[in-house]
Amino acid sequence: MGFSITMLVAVVVVFGILVLVHELGHFVTAKLTGMRVDEFAIGFGPKLVSFKYGETLYSIRGIPLGGFNKIAGMEQDDKDAGERAYWAKPVWQRMIVIIAGALMNIVLAYVLIAAVLFTSGIQTPVKEAQLGNVVAQRPAAQAGLEKGDIITSIDGEKINTWNEFALKVKSADGKVLHIEYLRNGDTRTANIIPEYDKSAKQAMVGVVAATENTSVSLPQSLLLAARQVWFIIYTMVASLAGMIMGTVHADLAGPIGVAAIIGEAAQVGIQSVLNIMILLSINLGIINLLPIPALDGGHFFTLLIEAVRGKPLSPELMRRSQFIGMALLLMLMFFATAQDFSRWFG
């Protein structure tokens, strides 16, 4: 897969927005509950840009793969923040602050889906095999195919629908396909050799189907967006449960894989980038809610224990659980990154 400035910008923007929204959830709820926030940062590593407004330092750091809020008193033995410390607040307020980041990612996905539906309507593929976007430097574009072309036959076999065209391409890795198509009523021919796409795990030629658009009212878009978010959450949770139970293959993507997916979406268009952002935002929200120490869900789980016991866990036990959680996350990251290299670099 080639690389371009457009793809790099898309990766940085998508990661930046997802992290910004997540950390804003923690930041706003911490402020609303009276906690002192010493720093709000996007990214890790050295500071690139920073300024102080009120009591909070705002910064953008060099590694755009995360972010953090430095809330005073996050450690139980930190006594400097007084009554504005995190641990000085009631447990229900701390629960809100911890869970707010993940919920904001899900809210972002909902807003994006509703906005896309309201502004663009519902897009459904046309019945015939008509090309929508044609990705540059991929087999279809190299063979001279353009947006709007209608595929009529492949290797002499008549093609009536997009699904028939897609099935022919899917099973033709490395095989030359002789294609007949219509452009402005004129019949033309082209030879195309589909290429195996490692992310899709099938042969592809770099095209998407042309679509028909149906307008959607604002109330309809809000309702349909809620249904779509619920469907995505249900599907992701079911897949995650299947991976844990061993009934579903653990096909994971690390930072390299996610960046590559965003980059490929940027080659297709803004709509594809928004679709990927929606899925990643919900995914980030769900993953962060898992009851694993070092994740928001793990922190929330310890607060539930505190609410039941009437007192927090000891600082030593908290540190040990955080260490175990971080070790698990690093192992998972290593596994996902290994799959990235296997998937993208053979």
Residues in the chain where the model's pLDDT stays below 50: 1
At 1 the pLDDT is: 47
Q: Cα torsion for 6, 12, 15, 19, to the nearest 10°? A: -150
Quote the CA–CA distance of 346 and 338 in Å, as a whole number.
Answer: 11
Smallest CA-to-CA distance from 320 within 296, 303, 298, 335 is with 298
At 134 the pLDDT is: 87
Is the whole model's pTM more than 0.85, yes or no? no
At 231 the pLDDT is: 95
Smallest CA-to-CA distance from 113 within 243, 273, 222, 240 is with 222
What tokens were used for 342?
A: 């296997």
Q: Answer yes or no: 23 catalytic.
A: yes
What tokens were used for 57?
A: 């330092």
Query: Which class for 168: exposed (0-12), middle (13-18), buried (19 or more C-beta within 10 A)?
Result: buried
The length of the chain, given as a count of residues:
346
At 280 the pLDDT is: 92
Quote the CA–CA distance of 284 and 23 in Å, as a whole number.
Answer: 12
Contacts of the segment 309-312: beta carbons below 8 A, 24+ positions apart = 312/76, 312/87
Instruction: Select which of 23, 75, 212, 306 is catalytic.
Output: 23
How far, CA to CA in Å, does 135 sit from each of 142, 173, 226, 266, 278?
A: 9, 18, 31, 10, 22
Smallest CA-to-CA distance from 2 within 270, 294, 206 is with 206
At 76 the pLDDT is: 61
Name residues whose C-beta falls within 8 Å of residue 222's C-beta, 6 or more positions apart in sequence.
114
At 133 the pLDDT is: 84
Quote the CA–CA distance of 111 and 222 in Å, as a whole number.
Answer: 8
Smallest CA-to-CA distance from 205 within 150, 276, 260, 131 is with 131
